[in-house]
Amino acid sequence: MLKLREYPVSVSKNLHKATRETIFRKQTNDWRDVDYTFNRIADQALRISEQDPRFQFEGDTMLYGPMTILKLTRTFPDGEAISFKMMYQQEVDEAHFVVQVLDQGIRLKTAWFPPGLLAVVPLCQESVLEFEPCLINEHFVEHIIEYMIQQKNWMEARIKLYGEPSYPGDVSPFFDE
């Protein structure tokens, strides 16, 4: 496996909507749009890990794909962690993500919304973590971090109210009323 530093990261070609917020739009109608976007997300995650030492950024490239896996993790003083894992196989027109909060996770993937806006949507609705589809923009990783911290706080409040899960994978504290 190659380390992330050897993975080529492309330079952004910013497109702006009326609010002047940078978003990613379809330009080539093929896998290069997702490749470009994945590189921008990698830039954001790397920048966050360099600015905030609480976040650890790891990356690997598997040569038999080639598939790139990036992971941004934050461990809290109590030992609990949140993580955001991104997986992209070159020349494939979608990327996959896993958001892990405490011991619960949700799988996400990229999708195109009209008029060619790239968004992230959940792969299934069966999860403790509720994720609303969101556009991928210059603040995407910050949005995911905010989301993970909100979900962590919500889960900790539910655990205080209903008790610890009785076994790994037990979701009853999060759904009991």
In sequence order, what are the beta bridge partners of 60? 3, 69
Average pLDDT, the chain: 76
Q: How many residues does the chain have?
A: 177
What would the pLDDT profile of 68-93 be if each residue is shown by its tens digit? 888 999 999 988 899 999 988 877 77
Which is it for strands 104-113 and 81-89: parallel, antiparallel or unpaired? unpaired
Contacts of 56 (CB under 8 A, 6+ apart): 49, 72, 73, 74, 75
Phi and psi (nearest 5°) for 68? Answer: -110, 135
Q: Which of the two residues, 48 and 9, has the higher pLDDT score? A: 48
Q: Give me the DSSP letters along 49-92.
A: HHH-TTEEEEEEEETTTTEEEEEEEEE-TTS-EEEEEEEEETT-
Q: Which residue has the higher pLDDT, 41 or 34?
A: 41
State residue 52 phi and psi, 5-degree precision.
Answer: -125, 105
Position of tokens 């379809």? 26
Question: What residue spans define the domains of the chain?
Answer: 2-170
Amino acid identity, position 60 = D
How many CA atoms, within 13 angstroms, populate the side-chain half-sphere of residue 101? 23
Nearest CA among 93, 82, 78, 110 for reference residue 28? 93
Regarding pTM above 0.85, the answer is no
